[in-house]
Structure 1
Amino acid sequence: MHDGEAIAVDVLMPEGEESVILLRQGERVNAWLNICPHAGRRLDWAPGKFLVSKGVLVCAAHGASFRVDNGECIGGPCKGESLHDVPVRVEQGEIMLDR
């Protein structure tokens, strides 16, 4: 995964399997559930493909825009809400789910 790129991965969470967005910023990886707080739909425009531009991740369904550093919605129909964080850590180049 390249710097600034976002991908989706299926992760087995305690509640069951979920699609999770992984977004790399340098050595840091942010992770959120792939669910827009506006309508409960996935954010990707095609499976695992996301629009990331100028520091925002854009929901393909209704155009909500989220900050890539913290998942806060800064524009669109769910302004002021946030993506649901998924705790992860990077160990020796591997992304690990923090439980």
Structure 2
Amino acid sequence: MKFLCPSDTLAPNSSRGFDIDGHKLLAVRRDGIAYFYRNRCPHRGVPLEWQPDHFLDASASLIQCATHGALFLIESGECIAGPCAGQSLTALPGREDEQGLWVEL
């Protein structure tokens, strides 16, 4: 497991990007739970964010790809709208403890 960040650096209903050992990934917090995904759209293989750490749509309820606007469920990574509908982001196993957020690459 690789350490990402202290828990308080991932606020409720927010996202952050990370580059760990050359692996680009993102973390999203929703309803107190942190979710971890590879930062790679299944449509074109491009990074998802609009600007650094901005992975969510305007309502902060879906992950949105900046390139073609595909929308992904935070809880599962499933694409529900856009050119890759039916595909999914690659989820990464992770956990949160008193030190912070951890992910397995």
Structure 1 and Structure 2 fold alike (TM over 0.5): yes
Partner of 1:48: 53
The aligned residue for residue 88 of structure 1 is 94
Note if contact 2:14-2:60 (Cα within 8 Å) is conserved in structure 1: no
Matches of 2:100 and 2:48, distance apart in 1: 24
TM-score, with length taken from structure 1: 0.87
**Among 42, 64, 79, the residue aligned to 1:73:** 79
The match for 1:11 is 20
Structure 1: tracts of 5 or more residues without a match: none
3-state SS of paired residue (2:80): strand
How many residue pairs get aligned? The number is 95
Q: Identity rate of aligned residues, in percent?
A: 33
Structure 1 stretches (4+) deviating beyond 3 angstroms?
none
Question: Please, which runs of 5 or more residues in structure 2 have no aligned partner?
Answer: 1-9
Higher strand share: 1
Measured on the aligned residues, the alpha-carbon RMSD in Å equals: 1.5
